[in-house]
Chains A and B, each alone.
Chain A
Amino acid sequence: MRNLLAFISRYQFTFLFLIFMIISFVLIYNNNYFQRSRIVSTTGNFTGRLNTIYSNFSNYFDLKRANEQLAAENAHLRAMLRLRTRNIPDSLIFLENNSTLRFISARVIGNSVQFRNNYFMIDKGYRNGIHKDMGVITSNGVVGIIVDVSENYASGISILHKDSKISGRIKKNDQLVNISWDGWNYRLGDLQHIPSHVNLVPGDTIITSGNSQIFPENIMIGTVEYIDEELENLFKKGKIRFSVDYNQLTYVYVVENVRKEELQRLKMSMPNNE
């Protein structure tokens, strides 16, 4: 026993180091984004308030661009409205009126693009009806997924995260593709494992498939930048230029699919689902 104590006191520096390391790794391990909610609900309000102060200040420099974006969106919506009132005798419109989608607008108060795993924070929380796993979009395209909610704030992972994978569709031929991010350039995403028979050329538009129930269908993700043929294994891969500049997020919409639970229950009851 005395020898043990002597040993510990001799190497106390290393022992203390190991103890701190273990604490850190426990924190990291629990910081899987499934379990992050605990940390955000304890620190979310404090950091949320700090971030709000910071973004209140930095938003002034962004006002012009944000206004332009909102004006463009208004114009687009106005055009759609006119289109709709003109073609009332269309059975599809009734379907759309019972829309299963709800949009909640929010302001981005914290955001990063420079890490391997990037998060963003918005100024709406469960008080405003935000839940985990809701999709986040802007008028330009897909942003990310909510992973944590506290009372007044919520945080999410953007596509710029190693665990993010978004199911997309090539607009012109409805082929499904997966979009991920390799950590290099925050404007370019990865397209991988595309069967080589699929017709895909630079400039093609990729939109959301709607398969995941997180994002609605037909939301822009980006355009194909270039394609590499991989001859040996019959696949090709490429890069996609995101339509959203993640460095300039200001106002976003959180999407809620009202019938998501129903759809998921149906999916669970399918035989080959994990």
Chain B
Amino acid sequence: MNKALFGNIARFILLVFAQVFIFNKVQITGFINPQVYVLFILMLPYQVAGFWLLTLGFFTGLSVDFLMHTPGMHAASAVFMAYCRPAIIRLVGRKDDVEPWDYPNVRDSGSMWFLAYTLILVFLHHTFLFFLEVFRFSEFLHTMLKILANTALTTVIILVIQYLFYSRKNE
């Protein structure tokens, strides 16, 4: 249990810093900007209490916000994503036979399950985030394109991280 807790804390710190200092510097044609820090929320245990899910989601977003001087935007999108997570888990297929600290990942959840789960939640998060950033619907097509391109890239990066660190039994 302590090991799992420690793993989550380490993941939180690593992902937030990686987001601010690596993934925010990734620019392809100026509008691609993957939001990989959402992986922290994706990998919280299946049975995490609702209170902790939302609170951790909020503070993950808030940390990114404060390091990037965009207060509120990432916090709101991350909370929105955390709020959707239980419903999406139900939609993709509930995992019943799990231990208290088991968490979604490619190895245990199955790659198709994890792909669908990641894709839907990342899409929801990006939709919320990018519309919040633009704050108007007049640039709808542009924003949609940005959402789709970034959803694809974020999902690919998350899958790469998954296959690099979680595909084999290394815990």
Question: Residues on A close to B: CB < 8 A?
Answer: 12-14, 16-17, 20-21, 23-31, 36, 39-40, 43, 47, 50, 54, 112-117, 119, 121, 155, 162, 182-187, 247
Provide the residues of chain A in CB contact with B31, threshold 8 Å. 114, 183-184
Provide the residues of chain B in CB contact with A30, threshold 8 Å. 71
Q: Which of B29, B55, B71, B142 contacts A28 (CB 8 A)?
A: B71
Provide the residues of chain A in CB contact with B130, threshold 8 Å. 116
* B80 on interface, CB distance cutoff 8 Å: yes
- If A17-B83, A31-B71, A43-B66 touch, whether A24 touches B133 (CB-CB below 8 Å) is no
C-beta contact mask, B74-114 vs A, less than 8 Å → 1, else 0? 01100110110010000000000000000000000000000
Provide the residues of chain B in CB contact with A29, threshold 8 Å. 72
Contact: B72 with A20, CB < 8 Å?
no
Other than A23-B58, A114-B31, A185-B29, give 15 A-B pairs with Cβ distance below 8 A.
A16-B55, A17-B54, A24-B79, A28-B72, A31-B71, A47-B66, A54-B21, A113-B30, A115-B133, A116-B130, A155-B69, A162-B134, A182-B139, A183-B31, A183-B142
C-beta contact mask, B23-37 vs A, less than 8 Å → 1, else 0? 010010111110000
Contact: A39 with B21, CB < 8 Å?
no
Nearest CB to that of A26 among chain B residues?
Answer: B72
* B67 on interface, CB distance cutoff 8 Å: yes
Minimal beta-carbon separation of B153 from chain A (angstroms): 12
Provide the residues of chain A in CB contact with B33, threshold 8 Å. 114-115
Q: How far is the CA of A185 from the CA of B31 in the complex (A)?
A: 7
Chain B CB count within 10 A is highest, among A47, A112, A116, for A116
Pairs of residues from A and B, 4 with the lowest C-beta to C-beta distance, nearest first: A27-B72, A28-B72, A24-B76, A186-B30
Minimal beta-carbon separation of B95 from chain A (angstroms): 19
Contact: A116 with B133, CB < 8 Å?
yes
Nearest CB to that of B31 among chain A residues?
Answer: A114
Dominant SS at the B interface?
A: helix
Q: How far is the CA of A155 from the CA of B130 in the complex (A)?
A: 22
Provide the residues of chain A in CB contact with B50, threshold 8 Å. 12-13, 16
Question: Residues on B close to A: CB < 8 A?
Answer: 21, 24, 27, 29-33, 50-51, 54-55, 57-58, 61, 65-67, 69-73, 75-76, 79-80, 82-83, 86, 130, 132-135, 139, 142
Provide the residues of chain B in CB contact with A247, threshold 8 Å. 27, 30
Minimal beta-carbon separation of A121 from chain B (angstroms): 8
Contact: B72 with A24, CB < 8 Å?
yes
A-B contact pairs, 17 of them (CB 8 A): A12-B50, A14-B83, A16-B55, A21-B76, A24-B72, A25-B72, A26-B72, A29-B72, A30-B71, A31-B71, A31-B72, A39-B69, A43-B69, A114-B31, A114-B32, A155-B69, A162-B134
Provide the residues of chain B in CB contact with A119, threshold 8 Å. 69
Minimal beta-carbon separation of B48 from chain A (angstroms): 12
Chain B CB count within 10 A is highest, among A14, A24, A115, for A24
Provide the residues of chain B in CB contact with A47, threshold 8 Å. 66-67, 69
